[in-house]
Amino acid sequence: MNIKIFKNSDEASQAVFELYKNKKEEGATVFGLATGSTPEKLYQLMSDSDLDFSESTSINLDEYVGLGSEHPQSYAYFMNQHLFRHKPFKESHLPNGLAKDLDQETRRYDEVIANNPIDLQLLGLGSNGHIGFNEPGSSFDSQTQHVQLTESTISDNQRFFSSEEEVPKEAISMGIASILSAKEIVIMAFGLNKAKAVKEMIQGPMTEAIPASALQQHRKVHVFLDEKAASLLD
């Protein structure tokens, strides 16, 4: 893992943005994208830049089950607000949270990934070590899956909803094997509440109890941290 530590999240996001610029110049066309507060600044920098994604493809990590793209807390809505309405892609893929047959939807999404091998996958990190919505215990062999969210994730995500009851309890997520199939991976983590997960991801044993520790087996992972998220590293 190639680990970079910055004074704050703005400086880290600027560095990730530079990496995206370089990868695009080198010919990357398929971008795996993530939601959450962590990549917001990166998306703002992309939106304000002269980068052109009109010939690129995006594939998002995950979506809540039960929320459609018009719902303000759906990840489809988030992506439109923060990036796609400013920088349209040729094709943008997200799991369909309203799919009637969720198993069929996971298979459809696996085909999308198989047909569009991901050049650069962006990840955030859950405070419990999850990536995408692959919660602790997820198999490292998992492809796209229908997942139940853990109590800790539901309570972390509650801040975006008016009550805990409104937070969806299920999601569709690219699996860990799907994530590891990307040619290159960028993971960003900011703030003290990520410090323990960051340490376990990088310096802990590779274990399904910490989904992000699976990244230790990938050849090309770039980790961008602020000082707080890096504060428990040896």
Residue numbers annotated as active site: 62, 128, 130, 135
User: Rg for the chain (alpha carbons), in Å?
Assistant: 16
Shorter beta-carbon distance to ligand GLP: residue 37 or 104: 37
Nearest CA to 209 out of 131, 128, 137 is that of: 137
CB burial of residue 218 (10 Å; 0-12, 13-18, 19+): middle
Shorter beta-carbon distance to ligand GLP: residue 104 or 193: 193
Instruction: Name the one residue in this structure whose structure tokens are 């919505």.
Output: 133
Residue 37 binds ligand GLP (CB under 6 A): yes
What is the number of the residue whose Cβ is closest to ligand GLP? 124
For the CA atoms of 215, 217, 223, 226, the dihedral, rounded to the nearest 10 degrees, stands at 70
In degrees rounded to 5, what are phi and psi of residue 190?
-130, 145
Residue 121 binds ligand GLP (CB under 6 A): no
Nearest CA to 211 out of 16, 15, 61 is that of: 61
Residue 124 binds ligand GLP (CB under 6 A): yes
Q: For residues 87 and 51, what is the distance between their CA atoms, to the nearest angstrom? A: 8
Q: How many residues bind ligand GLP (CB under 6 A)?
A: 14
Q: Which of 12, 30, 46, 61 binds ligand GLP (CB under 6 A)?
A: 61
Residue 132 binds ligand GLP (CB under 6 A): yes
Work out how close the CB of 36 gets to ligand GLP at its nearest, in angstroms, rounded to a whole number. Answer: 3
Work out how close the CB of 131 gets to ligand GLP at its nearest, in angstroms, rounded to a whole number. Answer: 7
Shorter beta-carbon distance to ligand GLP: residue 54 or 163: 163
Shorter beta-carbon distance to ligand GLP: residue 132 or 175: 132
Tell me how far CA of residue 7 lies from CA of 43, 192, 228, in angstroms: 20, 13, 8
Token pair recorded at residue 43? 């998306």
Site for ligand GLP in 134-163 (CB under 6 A): 153, 157
Return residues touching ligand GLP (CB under 6 A).
34-38, 61-62, 124-126, 132-133, 153, 157
